Amino acid sequence: MKRFRWTILSADDAAVAAMMESINVSMPLARALLNRGIDTFDAARNFFRASLESLHSPLLFGDMEIAVRRVLKAVRDGERIMLYGDYDVDGTTGTAMLHRFLGGLGAEVSWYINDRFQEGYGLSPEGIDAAASRGVGLVITVDCGIRANDAVSRARGLGMDVIVCDHHEPDLLPDAVAILNPKVPGCRYPFRELCGCGVAFKFIQAIADETGEGEKAWREYLAYVAIATAADMVELTDENRVLVREGLVRIQSAPSQSLQEMFRIMKVASTEVGMFNIAFGIAPRINAAGRMGSAKRAMEWLLSESAVDARRHADGLEELNTLRRQTDADIMEKAEKMLDGHFASYCSSIVLYDESWHLGVLGIVASKMLERHYLPTVIMGGMNGLVKGSVRSVEGLDVYGVLEECRDLLLQFGGHRQAAGVTLLPENLSAFRKRFDAASASRLGIRERQKELVIDAELRLEDAGEKFIRVLEQFSPHGFGNREPVFMTKGLRVHGRPRLLKERHVKFSVRDGSGRFFDVIGFDRRDVFDALEADPRAVFSMAYSLENRVWNGRAQLQCRLYDLDVSTPLD
């Protein structure tokens, strides 16, 4: 039943005591702060109270002044601008955001997003030709372009300038008039982990400062950045944390018509929207457009000008998302059946291929396979005589580095440490599978092969009072790079009987030392339900996070179960 390797973080007792005294928090919260490298009063203040004033200057991007001058010249001269975005959440939100902003400046602006299946990722010949046919003089990429050397050269040859707004790892830089990417060597921008929409937002900031409009002109776009940052698996530290937190405030207090219609479908009030709703509600519906058809549907929703249009396009995204769910469930079932044969030869990775698999959902399937089996995973399908796939990695393994070792077997690859995409010839599939497994094996130790559950501190449930929860809530927003605090409590028993929800989720109650009851929910933990049903008097240790769950307008404290251990002896 115990699914994870528990690591209870330790912190220097003197440092814990000093933190408790300096900011007046309990020991478990002081330990949680120290576990995040927050060890002084000033660091804690910046963590809890960082505001928009702490954002870095966009002019620290090396080419920002060039980019600003070029786009304002295009606006002033009536030159046609085309925004060229990626088809995922990051690309579509960034493209829609720039479209609204530049349109508000009076620019003659259009947008283009690749067909995922016909053109693939990045600047395509079809897209560049479309720009030329529209009489475009300036192309601005969003969440793509940093490796599109040939396409940028093609655009320049057709008389068009290109500004690249991207956040992916660069190689040989393209011949663009300006490149905005914090990962470009020599860039002075102090934070490398912006998403593509975040880079486009910094571009908007710089333009607004130059035109004298300032903060008033860019605050309304914080919602776009929050959605993109939360969805794109970039680190929720430093500037990203501020952007997401302020963006959530914007979403909750002044949602656009498009978001209001999405919340209607999700059956959630705007005032209650948080990271969970973005990750499992908004983002999948936006992505469903590009995965199952054309990202045009998502762009139409994002750019809706009326409530009627917003509702129609939101309903269309919901239909596509329903189809997406069924498609990835079908592939998951088939992939699981293939594993026995695969593991007979490869033990350090999962690399599965079926020509018929829908390319639009391979990333979702790869993530789910990773969650179940905790091995670096590549799930691939076929199209136009090529093998295309999505890659997902376990914690601590740089899958981009693994793919670098397979470079000679790949036609194309790109992405991040934790997620990437690949394209290869069918004849190289067997060699790639062997090389990928060997490269993964050389980088994975025994500990890395079992998923780790990092626990911040031991907690007595009776100590989780109102003040504790108020401080705990300020650790948010949570995500990659800023995990949710996890606590462990020993000596618990189930009160009453556990319930099984939708044949998948376990729900039960525990009681603290003062007699208070706490609801516990464990998602996809049928194993916990079975164990507690078999031994209802079992004494166990529980690893969990705490959250205020709003139900019918009333907040209720709830433990979200990560793992449960009946083998831990009591002190």
Q: Quick: pLDDT tens for 251-264.
A: 999 999 999 999 99
Q: Are residues 151 and 236 in the same domain?
A: yes
Please, what is the average pLDDT of the chain?
94
Domain carrying residue 475: 5-46+453-566
Residue 550 confidence class, pLDDT cut points 50, 70, 90: low
Cβ-proximal residues to 233 (8 Å cutoff; 6+ apart), any chain = 416, 418, 419, 479, 480
Domain tally, the chain: 3
Name which of 224-228, 333-337, 437-441, 477-481 the model is least confident about: 477-481
The label of the residue with tokens 């009030």 reads 269
> Of the candidates 244, 261, 287, which is a domain's last residue?
244
Q: Are residues 95 and 210 in the same domain?
A: yes
DSSP string, 48-67: HH--GGGSPPGGGSTTHHHH
> Of the candidates 398, 413, 448, which is a domain's last residue?
448
Q: Are residues 201 and 238 in the same domain?
A: yes
Cis peptide before 125 (omega within 30 of 0): no
Q: Residue 570 has what pLDDT?
A: 47
Say if residues 244 and 283 touch (Cβ distance below 8 Å). no
Say if residues 52 and 215 touch (Cβ distance below 8 Å). yes
pLDDT in tens, 54-69: 999 999 999 999 999 9
Q: Are residues 545 and 435 in the same domain?
A: no
Of 550, 503, 499, 502, the residue nearest 520 (C-alpha)? 499
Cβ-proximal residues to 178 (8 Å cutoff; 6+ apart), any chain = 63, 64, 66, 67, 70, 163, 164
Q: Are residues 70 and 207 in the same domain?
A: yes
Residue 539 pLDDT > 80: yes
- Domain-embedded: residue 272: no
pLDDT in tens, 96-155: 999 999 999 999 999 999 998 888 888 999 999 999 999 999 999 999 999 999 999 999
- Domain-embedded: residue 298: no
CATH of the domain at 425: 3.10.310.30
Q: Are residues 440 and 468 in the same domain?
A: no
pLDDT above 70 as % of the chain: 98
> Virtual CA dihedral for 338, 340, 345, 347, nearest 10 degrees?
100
- Domain-embedded: residue 343: no
Residue 515 pLDDT > 90: no
- Domain-embedded: residue 321: no
> Of the candidates 448, 475, 506, which is a domain's last residue?
448
Residues linked to residue 390 through DSSP beta bridges, in sequence order: 379, 421
- Domain-embedded: residue 303: no
Name which of 295-299, 404-408, 539-543, 567-571 the model is least confident about: 567-571
Q: Are residues 35 and 177 in the same domain?
A: no
Q: Are residues 112 and 168 in the same domain?
A: yes
Say how far apart CA 88 and CA 235 lie, in whole Å: 18
Of 494, 497, 503, the residue nearest 559 (C-alpha)? 494
Mean local confidence (pLDDT), 458-478: 93
Sign of CA dihedral 476, 477, 482, 484: positive
Token duo for residue 463: 């100590």
Residue 512 confidence class, pLDDT cut points 50, 70, 90: confident
CATH of the domain at 37: 2.40.50.460
Q: Are residues 435 and 459 in the same domain?
A: no
Q: Residue 14 has what pLDDT?
A: 96
Q: Residue 568 has what pLDDT?
A: 53
Mean local confidence (pLDDT), 247-253: 96
Residue 1 pLDDT > 80: no
5 phi, psi to nearest 5 deg: -90, 110
Token duo for residue 8: 């209870």
